[in-house]
Amino acid sequence: MLTFFSLGFCHRTQEQEKRREELKRLKNLKKREILDKIERLKDVTGDSAVGFTQADVEGDFDECQHDEMMKVACVFSIVATFVLNHFPNWCQNKNSM
């Protein structure tokens, strides 16, 4: 015998399933957008790797690994800015001097 509570429970389960399906659809859409952007970067830069591996795109997000990569990128950015600001001619081609 179905009761008011059992019907409500079934309804919640259906709503939860709809939300899960919508979330799955949105995640797949976002993944497709990201992959399209990576393809455009490959075309523009001519670099087939663009600094990403397949594991970076397909793998699960690792917060610790991301933090380490951002630290390296930050240090690189600081060093590059320092070099460009203090030694502006250092990066120029020797033939153009």
| Confidence band, pLDDT 50/70/90 cuts, at residue 97 | very low
The secondary structure of residue 5, as a DSSP letter, is H
Predicted pLDDT at 48: 75
On whether the CB atoms of residues 41 and 34 are closer than 8 A, the answer is no
Residue 94 CB-density burial (10 A; 0-12 exposed, 13-18 middle, 19+ buried): exposed
Average pLDDT of the residues of the chain: 78
